Chains A and B, each alone.
Chain A
Amino acid sequence: ETGVTQSPTHLIKTRGQQVTLRCSSQSGHNTVSWYQQALGQGPQFIFQYYREEENGRGNFPPRFSGLQFPNYSSELNVNALELDDSALYLCASSPEPGAGTQYFGPGTRLLVL
């Protein structure tokens, strides 16, 4: 069974640029959630995708957007990057939206200069 994978592992961008982060969900999982984790803090929910549709969103501006593909892999896009967007971005997959346990990938560390 393949676990959750994310790419890239690290990324450096400058303010105002756009970035795309990728996530492959665990086999058999149709739900992907994205979280932002600032240094030394707990993760904050960005949004969730279920069967290619957005299925809930946290308190993040519209410049944070996402996609889910038919194979249930997912992308997180962030436009007009700000310095405060520097964080670890975690992707988690689960069999169903409210099924309980979410399984996390290793994360992408984004640094905005």
Chain B
Amino acid sequence: DAKTTQPTSMDCAEGRAANLPCNHSTISGNEYVYWYRQIHSQGPQYIIHGLKNNETNEMASLIITEDRKSSTLILPHATLRDTAVYYCIVRLYSGGGADGLTFGKGTHLIIQP
């Protein structure tokens, strides 16, 4: 799986959009970008994933650059409950089952009141 680079920490004001970058310059053509987050003392939570196109769901938006070497997770209206460690993971999807996720250090996002 391709490696990812994320900032160690970020701050964002409550109510503003939080934009979390991820660099994955060695991504291959059939690798997906996944985002998970982990709130303190809980298990990771799936947020969103994408291959080439931008994606949006009820939690967030995922913007993937045209060359697919980087992406940005956008939380449109951050709340205090969004304070967590956010992991960007690039992996090959095997539809028949689950392969292991490779978690990096992630970005510690702190939402300020």
- Does B bind A? no
Q: Could you list which residues of chain A lie within 8 angstroms of chain B, going by C-beta atoms?
A: none
Residues of B within 8 A of A (CB): none
